[in-house]
Amino acid sequence: MIPDAELNPTQRRVLDLVWRHQPIARVDIGPRVGLSTMSVTRIIKELMDMGLLAEGVLRNGGRGQPSRPLTIRADAAYAAGVYFSRHVAQVGLIDLAGQVVAQIGLGAEVDTPRALALATSEAIDGLVKVAGIDRSRLVGVGFALPGDFISDRKRLNAHVLFPGFRGDDLQAELQAHVKERVYVENDAATAALGERLLGIGQTINHFFFAHIGHGIGGGLVINGRLYRGARGNAGLIGVQFPNDGPRPSGQDLLATLCASGIDIHDFSGLEALRPQTCPPLKAWISRAAAQLRHGLWITARILDPEAVIIGGRLPHHILQEIVARVDDDSFCNEGVLLPRPRVFASSLGPAAGVVGAAAVSLYQRYLAVDD
């Protein structure tokens, strides 16, 4: 059952802890959120009565009653997420535990918020039928947007390819055509959140996510939670690279390939290309990786993450080639024995953006305390 009432801050803190560390024993909750055993018992009962938490059984082979760790009730609520490029929109549904239950790719010209919202709403109708979910169980739709916020979740400094997304209140424009509550976030932040839920970031509490999309951006996860910054633009690594010259961005790669006579205009066309047989791609990877290496070195020393994850809209095999050129023994090695962050290629690829976009709805509805 989806609760009608808003959760209070203490309930959100407890639910957030279970969401990030499930399965988790009751005795481990109080010390982590600063609550007494009695308060934890009461709050857990409230969340279970709402249908948001469930008890599992963990047998350890010893005597006595088995422990009953807490987990999220996955089917308590669902959310949709949208992650798009110029010609393709991906729409997915996740459950409250963050698992993908249905997903579809749409071949659609996405040039205005209205066009995107209408295509999304139609796609959701199909997805809930495939998944066997009543659409009323969706608590929101999250949109991953290509750009940075001028005002938080309203005005967007959209990528040059998306001039139609530069309105005064983008969230309201999307909301006008979607019946569920709409949430917006930049695409780098949603990809970082998706990586935290289902990717390599599940086991890493502090990481920087370098997002190679139309531009080059970043998302920052601190203590297992997405850090947005004062206006939602934390991780804006792209300012390190000039706009009027070669950049380590996806759009720069597409332009480089087109200039070499390779007619690819969207990221889906990159799947079949291999650097071993495509010299322009190989040259771009070498140049872009060198640029990223320098920028990520500075970023990593400022933020001190456990890891740097490189992802976004590029295929996994291209991301792996970039990581291989960024990560070696000399990366973040100043000769003074400081620990080096690990560097990984995202295992989710574009799926991270869909998952993260959907998770924004669940996060805002059930987990966020200070946002």
Q: Each residue of 108-130: pLDDT tens digit?
A: 777 899 999 999 999 999 999 99
362: left (phi over 0), alpha (psi -120 to 50) or beta: alpha
Instruction: Tell which wins on pLDDT, 48 or 153.
Output: 48
- pLDDT tens for each residue of 170-196: 999 999 999 999 999 999 999 999 998
| Residue 323 in this model has a pLDDT that exceeds 60 | yes
Say if residue 247 is in the same domain as residue 327.
yes
Q: Is residue 4 part of a domain?
A: no
Looking at the structure of the chain, the number of domains it has is: 3
320: amino acid identity, one letter: Q
Q: What is the mean pLDDT of the chain?
A: 90
Which amino acid belongs to residue 303?
Answer: L
Together in a domain, 219 and 171: no
**Does 248 share its domain with 187?**
no
Q: Give the structural domain span for 305.
A: 202-349
Q: In what order do the strands lie in the sheet with 342-345?
A: 225-227, 216-222, 207-212, 307-312, 342-345
pLDDT, tens digit (0-9, with 9 covering 90-100), for 244-303 = 889 999 999 999 999 999 999 889 889 999 999 999 999 999 999 999 999 999 999 999
User: In this structure, is residue 233 part of a structural domain?
Assistant: yes
Residues 214 and 334 reside in one and the same domain? yes
Is the pLDDT higher at 350 or at 25? 25
Tell me the whole-structure pTM to 2 decimals: 0.88
Q: What CATH number is associated with residue 14?
A: 1.10.10.10
Is 3 part of any domain? no
Same domain assignment for residues 69 and 85: no
Helix (H) or strand (E) holding 152: none
Helix axes 316-326, 279-303, angle to 10 degrees: 60
C-alpha dist (Å) from residue 84 to 47, 81, 95, 96: 35, 10, 21, 23
At 16 the pLDDT is 87
Give me the CATH number covering residue 301. 3.30.420.40
Q: Does 245 share its domain with 318?
A: yes
Whether residue 275 lies inside any domain: the answer is yes
Mark whether 101 and 209 lie in a shared domain.
no
pLDDT in tens, 23-69: 899 999 999 989 999 999 999 999 999 999 998 766 554 555 557 89
CA distance 132 to 233: 37
| C-alpha distances in Å from residue 29, one per residue of 7, 22, 64 | 18, 11, 22
In angstroms, the CA 211 to CA 188 distance is 5
C-alpha to C-alpha distance for 8 and 10, rounded to whole angstroms: 6
